Amino acid sequence: MTSVVVIGAQWGDEGKGKIVDYLAQKADAVVRYSGGSNAGHTVVVHDVAYKLRLLPSGILYKGKTCFLGNGVVINPGVVLNEIKTMQDKGVDISRLLISDRAHVVMPYHGKLDELQEAALGTHKIGTTKGGIGPCYMDKYARTGIRMCDLLDKEIFADKLRVQLEAKNAIITKIYGAEPFDYDTVLQEYLGYAEQLRPYVCDTGVELEKVFQAGKNVLFEGAQATFLDIDHGTYPYVTSSNPIAGNASTGSGVGPRNINHVVGVVKAYTTRVGEGPFVTELLDQDGPGHKIRETGHEYGTVTGRPRRCGWLDAFMIKYSARVNSLDYLAITRLDILDNMDKIKMCVGYEIDGQPIDNIPASLKTLAKVKPIFEEFEGWLTDITAIRKFEDLPVNAQKYLQRLSAVAGVELGIVSVGPNREQTIVIKELL
């Protein structure tokens, strides 16, 4: 039995979906343990793109049990639409299991997300307005509605009445917006409950059975390290813990069940929304623009253009420590194929003095300057290469320098969006 946690080592959008999909070939179960439908993965199989928001990437394989753990917040409408989309494409959904302890995203969560973000003005966080943050707020305020509540008509009706009274007061009296109608929401969500009922169970118990049977398990993180509520660039973060340590908490299994952690690293850096970005390229028609257009760097969920910059290896060093990374999985290396010169940030400095950590204070972080090293580009199409030693020498040097700065071995290098466009240096499952 082997278990692997796959996490994003940057600000998300690293291509975790492809890496999870690739590793899922040898997994018996795939577990999503955090986040909500604000996390988007695009997986390409035989040139067909599958856009996933809540369903684990392993759903594209037959015979794999896929879990949405207790740490995930579930928008019933989104997950049911995703289930139907997958079924229409011939994907088997019968082995999907949803935790009865997972919290439910309600319509008032989305409305509050939108209203709160608008009220922040220039201090906005840059959320997807999907209600994820307000849902986690209710969870930690101990006023949330869980899947087990949704499936019990009497309990759900009572909890919804209490919550709508409180939330409508905020929506109308503070924000001056229209309230939600109790009966409308009740009937809509009771309908969702019946459709989701076959999938809901105590996933912690079912996952323990998988471990007891000695099978391989893959844990899939949403978002990424620098969006972590505790360890990211707060407050420009998500509302949960995407880091590897939450794989245990968010799925209901003990930490001794986790064997390896893989950090997914895009060969350059992007982020969506507000917040600091030390290596950001602000050019209108230079390398930042070229990376965005070549890599089609637009949000899977929102369509927003992503901010682009050079690879920040100093960030990856931080991720390595926080997540106990064993291996790196590098994605989108092929997007750099046509770059004459490529830069990599290998350290930070303030007022000309190197620092050995990433500051928690955004005021201090704003003073940081990146320490860059420049590399010669390889100007070669690498999408058909399947062995590391066959990569252009300049590409190998670039990857090896990243590994050295981060202090983590290379495990996988992706050279294209398709499943087969993958160089495996270390078998992880």
Catalytic residue numbers, as ranges:
13, 41
Find out whether 36 and 24 touch, Cβ atoms under 8 Å: no
Bridge partners of 414, per DSSP, are 422
Structure token digits, residue 29: 């179960």
Retrieve residue 196's tokens: 């989701």
- C-alpha distances in Å from residue 31, one per residue of 90, 291, 365: 21, 32, 34
- Name the 3-class secondary structure at 203: helix
DSSP for 338-404 reads T-SEEEEEEEEEETTEEESS--S-HHHHTT-EEEEEEEE---S--TT--SGGGS-HHHHHHHHHHHH
Contact at 8 Å (CB) between 179 and 168?
yes
Q: Is the peptide bond before 287 cis (omega within 30 degrees of 0)?
A: no
- 3 state DSSP class of 48: strand
DSSP 225: G
